[in-house]
Amino acid sequence: MKPTPSTLTATSPAGPQAPGTQRNAASVLLQAQNLGLQDQGRWVWRRLELAITPGERVALTGPSGSGKTALMRALAGLMPASEGDILFEQRRLQLWPMPQYRSRVGYLAQRPELGDGDTVEAALAAPFAYRSRRHQACPHQWIQHALEMLGRNSHFLQRRVASLSGGEQQITALLRLLALQPCVLLLDEPTAALDARSARDVEALLETWHGEAPDRSWLWTSHDGAQIERMSTRTLELPWMP
Amino acid sequence: MDALVTDDYYSLSLAQVGLAALLLLINVALSIGLQLGLTRSLLIASVRMTVQLLLVGLILEWVFALRSPLPVLGIAAVMATLAGVTAAGRTHLRFAGMYWDCLLSVMAAAMLVTGAALAGIVQVDPWYNPQYLIPMLGMVLGNILNGINLGLDRFTTSLFDRSALIDTRLALGATRWEAARSEVREALHTALTPAINSMLVMGVVSLPGMMTGQILAGAAPVDAVRYQIMIIFMITAAAALGSLGAILLAYRRLFNARHQFLKHRLEKR
């Protein structure tokens, strides 16, 4: 099958913006150059150009099967792309020690696993035992504050992970990710499992997180047009490749 | 051939073995009476077992007469290869390179443990004496095979089923070892449990075949027991070494140096 070339298009709720490639390289935080992924002979996406600048909030959209999750996973360094480069802070992904890179670029899967740790508190603390986090302490105060924002008190920390609803698991996974203080968030439909109110709480928490440091950015996949409008300044659309 | 009575040992003639085969009629009668549909497979299995063992008897007779190390080592290598291939061939999931990993682990573990026992503990002279090397190796290989098979099966299945969890750990900054450590531990546990269980009931619930054989052949029970104890330690150590080797080699194939879990390398059979 002959692959069809395609480029990630950039549009904004406020009108079209310059495509990622034309941005000033020095101000780019996370960048994909000529990125392609092949799966069993078919190009899921190819010749992707993407650039996220410090502080930017970008939405990633596209029809089902266009490879949004695969792109997120490739950007998180969880799977190798078939061609092209990913750069973080102008440094190629291959040159980053992976655990260190993933401490800066945090990925939240669509259906995250909490696995390690019986209680919410243990699950939140588990990543701080990793070698790459040894210098970092679990920010208990920040977690308390975030829980309040989500309308939950400290009893939530003692809940057993196995007893959490899908939405609560999603919130716990998000809290765990934010507690690690990454610089870029890759959020794969972070509110898909939540009711409308919890979704708004999560949005508020992420807004707060974003405001805490000037370079915090995210790439957010969502099928909810209103949410995209609220949570992003720019939209990247993945085309579907036959 | 006539039944021979040696000093303290009754040898079996072929006619006596034929008489023993009549015991199979019990199974055949059961199968026909209860319509189990097993008659055909029972007969085929019995014939195969008889032919295989008679052939092995002939080969061993020839091997035991050998007085040079090369052919003995050749036979040992064939046995180890068969064990490695069997260990790799019986898991639910497979990955490229698995046969080589199993082969390497089986060879290394068997060589180390059997070598240590022959040269270091029993101090057989010459060290390749086939009467000792071949049966000991056979027992060691059987247990390595089981250990690797159970351990590798558990390891690959857990990784496959928990791939989302493994990826989550990696995404949160875990190294590949931190991400796979608990699965490695569980797999080793699974690999070693049968060996530990059998040690617990050894002599109480089960009388090991080798010891029984030695006693039948006229060895003093105390002597046979000492041998058996040594063999059990050998096979437990070999199963541990072999399964650890196979699991660690599998880990190296399924996680790359970029701390990525390569789930796509795991294929269902």
- Mean pLDDT of all residues belonging to chain A: 87
| pLDDT > 90 in chain B, percent | 65
Q: What is the spatial distance between Cα A38 and Cα A31, in angstroms, rounded to a whole number?
A: 19
- The position carrying tokens 């068997």 is B110
3-state SS class at B41: helix
Q: Over 50: is that where the pLDDT of B1 sits? A: no
Decide if B245 contacts B98 (C-beta within 8 A): no
Of the segments A83-87, B124-128, B193-197, which one has the largest average pLDDT value? Answer: A83-87
DSSP string, B53-120: HHHHHHHHHHHHT--SHHHHHHHHHHHHHHHHHHHHHT-SEE-TTHHHHHHHHHHHHHHHHHHIIIII
Q: For residue B253, what pLDDT is reported?
A: 97
Cβ of A113 under 8 Å from any chain B Cβ? yes
Stated as kind and residue range, the H or E segment containing A87 is strand A83-88
What digits encode the pLDDT tens for the residues A108-135? 998 888 888 899 999 999 999 999 888 8
Over residues B170-192, mean pLDDT: 96
Over residues B67-92, mean pLDDT: 91
Q: For residue B63, what pLDDT is reported?
A: 84
Q: What is the spatial distance between Cα B269 and Cα B265, in angstroms, rounded to a whole number?
A: 12
Q: Over 80: is that where the pLDDT of A9 sits? A: no
CA-nearest residue of chain B to A111? B164
Q: Which of B159, B170, B172, B266 to mutate to test the interface with A (most CBs of A within 10 A)?
A: B172
Cβ-defined contact of A102 to B260 (cutoff 8 Å): no
Q: What is the spatial distance between Cα B169 and Cα A114, in angstroms, rounded to a whole number?
A: 9
* Higher per-residue pLDDT: A67 or A5: A67
How wide is the angle at C-alpha B104 spanned by C-alphas B101 and B107, nearest 5°? 145
What digits encode the pLDDT tens for the residues A29-80? 999 999 999 988 899 999 999 999 999 999 999 988 889 999 999 999 999 9
Q: For residue A25, what pLDDT is reported?
A: 52
Q: Over 70: is that where the pLDDT of B191 sits? A: yes
Decide if B140 contacts B241 (C-beta within 8 A): no
Cβ of A182 under 8 Å from any chain B Cβ? no
Of the segments A178-192, B11-25, B213-227, which one has the largest average pLDDT value? Answer: A178-192
Q: For residue A40, what pLDDT is reported?
A: 87
Q: For residue B203, what pLDDT is reported?
A: 81
What digits encode the pLDDT tens for the residues A155-166? 999 999 999 988
Q: Over 90: is that where the pLDDT of B218 sits? A: no
| pLDDT > 90 in chain A, percent | 64
User: Binning pLDDT at 50, 70 and 90, where does residue B6 land?
Assistant: low
The pair of structure tokens assigned to A240 is 């579907």
Q: Over 80: is that where the pLDDT of A13 sits? A: no
Q: What one-character DSSP code corresponds to residue A216?
A: -
- Mean pLDDT of all residues belonging to chain B: 91
User: Binning pLDDT at 50, 70 and 90, where does residue B60 land?
Assistant: confident
Decide if A70 contacts A19 (C-beta within 8 A): no
Q: For residue B90, what pLDDT is reported?
A: 84
Q: For residue B166, what pLDDT is reported?
A: 96
Q: What is the spatial distance between Cα A70 and Cα B28, in angstroms, rounded to a whole number?
A: 59
Q: For residue B7, what pLDDT is reported?
A: 58
Q: What is the spatial distance between Cα B126 and Cα B23, in angstroms, rounded to a whole number?
A: 41
3-state SS class at A59: strand
Cβ-defined contact of B178 to A131 (cutoff 8 Å): yes
Count of H helices and E strands in chain B? 10, 2
Q: For residue A73, what pLDDT is reported?
A: 95
Q: What is the spatial distance between Cα A12 and Cα A21, in angstroms, rounded to a whole number?
A: 16
Cβ-defined contact of B260 to A112 (cutoff 8 Å): no
Cβ-defined contact of B173 to A130 (cutoff 8 Å): yes
Q: For residue A26, what pLDDT is reported?
A: 59
Question: B 164-183 residues with CB below 8 A of A?
Answer: 164-165, 167-175, 178, 182
CA-nearest residue of chain B to A174? B172
* Higher per-residue pLDDT: B260 or A149: B260
The pair of structure tokens assigned to B24 is 């199979």
Q: For residue A106, give the amino acid letter.
A: G
Q: Over 70: is that where the pLDDT of A12 sits? A: no
Decide if A76 contacts A133 (C-beta within 8 A): no
Give me the residue from A73, A80, A180 closest to B173, CB to CB.
A180
The pair of structure tokens assigned to B91 is 């898991």
